[in-house]
C-alpha cells in the first residue's frame, strides 16, 4: 500500500486537540484511513458493527467493485476465468498469484489428484454422526477433525506445513462432501478416481455406486466446475474474515478452515443457496408464478421478516457478475437434462423480473446474487438441497486458504482483537441470594 499525500484530520467539538491520520491507497478501490494509533492518541475506539467502513487487512487476492458489478481474482475478471480456465487453474492462481503455465498446471493437477483419498479412519469418525445430521454439521466436524489425522501439517508458522495443508484441504474437500452425502443416504463411499477431472471426480464420488459403471456427463462436469470457480473467493466476506480471525491466534489450518465452514452455514451467507431453493419451492407449493405478487408484498413488509433470498449483497450494488454466469449455466444444464420448462427456473425468472422493476428493490440497489440461480443448477445436477452449502464450502476452501496464508505472511498481521463500546452495568457488588 502507498502512503497518500492526503491526510485525514479528526477534530473534536469539546476542544480536545485534533488528530492527524495517514491515508493509504491500494492499487484500485477506496483509500483507507490508518486509525491504528487512534486509541493511543485519543483513548477512543472507532465504532463499526458489521465492518461497514473498516478494512481489516490489506490483500492482493480478490477485488470487487460493487457499484460496477466487477469481480477480479488476482486481477483477472471472473468472466474470463469462468470461460477460459478450470477450477484448479483458479486454485493455483489464488494460492500463487499467477495462472499456471502448461507444466505448472500439469504438476498442480497431479499434486491435488494424488491427495484426494482421506485417512481410512475418517469413515469411522463420520459414522459417529446421526444419518439425518445436516451435512454442514458433519463437514464442520470432518474438516476440524482433519487436524487430528494430519499432524505433519498443523504448524501454521511453517511454510511447508501450510503448503501441505493447502493441498490436502483442496484435494480432500470433495471426498469429504461426497462421503457425508453417501453416509446420509446409506450408500457405500466411492473412492476418488484419479483419471477424472476435479469436478468429474466429485460427480463420480457423489453419484457412482459399486454396482454399475458411472459415466461423467461433460455438461454437468463443466457446470459444476463453473460453480466451483464462481465461489472460490470473495475477498473479506464473513467466513473468510472468520478464517483469518481464527488463524490469527496461530491455530492450525484445519481448525481455521472448519471455522470458515461453520460461518458459511448461515442463511445470510453460504446458506442462502439452500434458503433460496426452499423459498422457491414454498412459493411453488403456494401456487407458483401466480403467487409471486403476493410473496413480494410480504418481502416488502418489514414486519413479515421475509426476505427475497438470493437477492441483495453487502458489496454489490449492481448485478452480481457471478449471478449472470450462473444464469447462463442454469440454462445449459436445464437444457441438457431436458428440464427447459422447469417450474422453479420460470418462477425465479418471474421473481427476478418483478424485483428488478420494483421501487423497493431499485431504491435499495438489490440485485440477484450468486445464490439466486446456483440452487436450481445444483438441483438439476441431482445434488440434494441440504448439500448446496457444502458445495459452496468445498469451492471456497481455496480462497480461505489463500487468504489465511496471505495473512500469516503479512508482517503487519496481529491476533485479531476487536474492541467494544460497553453499555452494560458498571462495577457493583454481589448481594447474598436472599437479598437479590
Ligand atoms: N429481501 C428484502 N429486502 C432486503 C434484502 C432481501 N434479500 N436484502 C436487503 N434488503 C433490504 C433491507 O431490509 C434493508 O432495507 P432498509 O434499508 O429499508 O432497512 C436494505 O435492503 C439493506 O439491507 P441490509 O440487510 O442492511 O444489507 P446488508 O448489507 O447488511 O445485508 C445481505 C446483505 C446479503 C445479508 C442481505 O441482502 C440479505 O439478507 N440477502 C438475502 C440473503 C442472501 O441472498 N445472501 C447471500 C449473499 S451472496 C453469497 C454470499 O456471500 O454468501
Nearest CA to ligand 1 atom 45: 268
Residue-wise pLDDT tens digits, 397-416: 999 999 999 999 999 999 99
Nearest CA to ligand 1 atom 20: 364
Residue 142 CA to residue 153 CA, distance in Å, equals 16
CA distances from 64 to 3, 36, 68, 229 (A): 22, 25, 9, 15
Residue 198 CA to residue 86 CA, distance in Å, equals 9
- Please indicate whether residue 270, judged by its CB atom, sits closer than 6 Å to ligand 1: yes
Residues 202, 208, 214, 219: what is their CA dihedral angle, to the nearest 10 degrees? -40
What pLDDT is stored for residue 190 in this prediction? 97
pLDDT band at 74 (very low <50, low <70, confident <90, very high): very high
Q: How far is the CA of 224 from the centre of ligand 1 (A)?
A: 26
Residue 378 CA to residue 226 CA, distance in Å, equals 11
Q: Which of 71-80, 87-96, 375-384 has the lowest mean pLDDT?
A: 375-384
Q: How far is the CA of 307 from the centre of ligand 1 (A)?
A: 8
Q: How far is the CA of 311 from the centre of ligand 1 (A)?
A: 7
Residue-wise pLDDT tens digits, 211-233: 999 999 999 999 999 999 999 99
Residue 194 pLDDT > 90: yes
Residue 272 pLDDT > 90: no
Residues 373, 379, 381, 387: what is their CA dihedral angle, to the nearest 10 degrees? 100
Q: How far is the CA of 366 from the centre of ligand 1 (A)?
A: 8
- Please indicate whether residue 370, judged by its CB atom, sits closer than 6 Å to ligand 1: yes
SS3 label, residue 257: helix
As a whole number, mean pLDDT of residues 259-276 equals 92
pLDDT band at 392 (very low <50, low <70, confident <90, very high): very high
User: Which residue in this structure is represented by grid cell 493441498?
Assistant: 167
For a substitution probing ligand 1, which of 232, 312, 355, 371 has the most ligand atoms within 8 Å of its CB?
A: 312
What pLDDT is stored for residue 25 in this prediction? 96
Residue 283 CA to residue 93 CA, distance in Å, equals 40
Answer yes or no: pTM beyond 0.85: yes
DSSP string, 140-158: HHHHHHGGGT-GGG--TT-
What pLDDT is stored for residue 173 in this prediction? 98
Residue 259 pLDDT > 90: yes
Q: Highest-confidence range of 121-125, 205-209, 305-309, by mean pLDDT?
A: 205-209
Q: Which residues pair with 62 in a beta bridge?
A: 73
Residue 340 pLDDT > 90: no
Residue 208 pLDDT > 90: yes
Please count the CA atoms within 13 angstroms of the CA of 140 that sit on its side-chain side. Answer: 16
Q: Do the strands 76-77 and 19-25 form a parallel or antiparallel pair, or are they unpaired?
A: unpaired
What pLDDT is stored for residue 153 in this prediction? 87
User: Which residue in this structure is represented by grid cell 454489490?
Assistant: 316
Residue 165 CA to residue 67 CA, distance in Å, equals 36
Share of the chain above pLDDT 90, in %: 89
Nearest CA to ligand 1 atom 4: 307
**Average model confidence (pLDDT) across the chain:** 95
- Please indicate whether residue 311, judged by its CB atom, sits closer than 6 Å to ligand 1: yes
- CB neighbourhood size of 288 (10 A): 15
Answer yes or no: are the C-beta atoms of 191 and 202 closer than 8 Å.
no
As a whole number, mean pLDDT of residues 127-141 equals 96
R_g of the chain, CA atoms, integer Å:
24
Residue 274 pLDDT > 90: no
As a whole number, mean pLDDT of residues 68-79 equals 97
Amino acid at each position: 500500500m502507498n502512503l497518500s499525500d492526503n491526510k485525514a484530520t479528526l477534530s473534536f467539538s469539546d476542544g480536545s486537540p485534533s488528530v492527524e491520520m495517514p491515508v493509504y491507497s491500494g492499487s484500485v478501490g477506496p483509500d483507507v484511513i490508518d486509525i491504528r494509533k487512534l486509541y493511543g492518541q485519543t483513548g477512543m475506539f472507532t465504532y463499526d458493527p458489521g465492518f461497514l467502513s473498516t478494512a481489516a487487512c490489506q490483500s492482493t487476492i480478490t477485488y470487487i467493485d460493487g457499484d460496477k458489478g466487477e469481480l477480479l481474482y488476482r486481477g483477472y475478471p471472473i468472466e474470463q476465468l469462468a470461460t477460459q480456465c478450470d477450477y484448479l487453474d483458479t486454485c493455483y492462481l489464488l494460492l500463487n498469484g499467477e495462472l499456471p503455465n502448461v507444466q505448472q498446471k500439469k504438476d498442480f493437477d497431479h499434486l491435488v489428484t494424488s491427495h484426494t483419498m482421506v485417512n481410512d479412519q475418517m469413515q469411522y469418525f463420520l459414522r459417529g454422526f446421526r444419518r439425518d445430521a445436516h451435512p454442514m454439521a458433519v463437514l464442520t466436524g470432518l474438516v476440524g477433525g482433519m487436524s487430528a489425522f494430519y499432524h505433519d501439517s498443523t504448524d501454521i508458522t511453517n511454510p511447508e506445513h501450510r503448503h501441505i495443508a493447502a493441498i490436502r484441504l483442496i484435494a480432500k474437500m470433495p471426498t469429504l462432501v461426497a462421503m457425508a452425502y453417501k453416509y446420509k443416504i446409506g450408500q457405500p463411499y466411492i473412492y476418488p478416481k484419479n483419471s477424472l477431472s476435479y469436478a468429474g471426480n466429485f460427480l463420480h464420488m457423489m453419484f457412482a455406486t459399486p454396482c454399475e459403471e458411472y459415466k461423467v456427463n461433460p455438461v454437468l462436469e463443466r457446470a459444476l466446475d463453473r460453480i466451483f470457480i464462481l465461489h472460490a473467493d470473495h475477498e473479506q466476506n464473513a467466513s473468510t474474515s472468520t478464517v483469518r480471525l481464527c488463524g490469527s491466534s496461530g491455530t492450525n489450518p484445519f481448525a481455521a478452515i472448519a471455522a470458515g465452514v461453520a460461518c458459511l452455514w448461515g442463511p445470510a451467507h453460504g446458506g442462502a443457496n439452500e434458503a433460496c431453493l426452499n423459498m422457491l419451492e414454498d412459493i411453488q407449493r403456494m401456487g407458483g408464478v401466480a403467487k409471486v405478487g403476493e410473496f413480494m408484498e410480504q418481502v416488502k413488509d418489514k414486519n413479515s421478516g421475509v426476505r427475497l433470498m438470493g437477492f441483495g449483497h453487502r458489496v454489490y450494488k449492481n448485478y452480481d457478475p457471478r449471478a449472470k454466469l450462473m444464469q447462463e449455466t442454469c440454462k445449459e444444464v436445464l437444457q441438457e437434462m431436458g428440464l427447459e420448462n422447469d417450474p422453479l427456473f420460470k418462477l425465479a425468472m418471474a421473481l427476478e423480473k418483478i424485483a428488478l422493476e420494483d421501487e423497493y428493490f431499485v431504491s435499495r440497489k438489490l440485485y440477484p446474487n450468486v445464490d439466486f440461480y446456483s440452487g436450481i443448477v445444483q438441483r438439476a445436477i441431482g445434488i440434494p438441497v441440504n448439500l448446496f452449502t457444502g458445495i459452496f464450502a468445498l469451492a471456497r476452501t481455496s480462497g480461505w486458504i489463500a487468504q489465511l496464508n496471505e495473512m500469516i505472511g503479512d508482517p503487519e498481521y496481529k491476533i485479531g482483537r476487536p474492541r467494544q463500546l460497553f453499555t452494560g452495568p458498571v462495577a457493583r457488588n454481589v448481594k447474598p441470594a436472599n437479598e437479590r
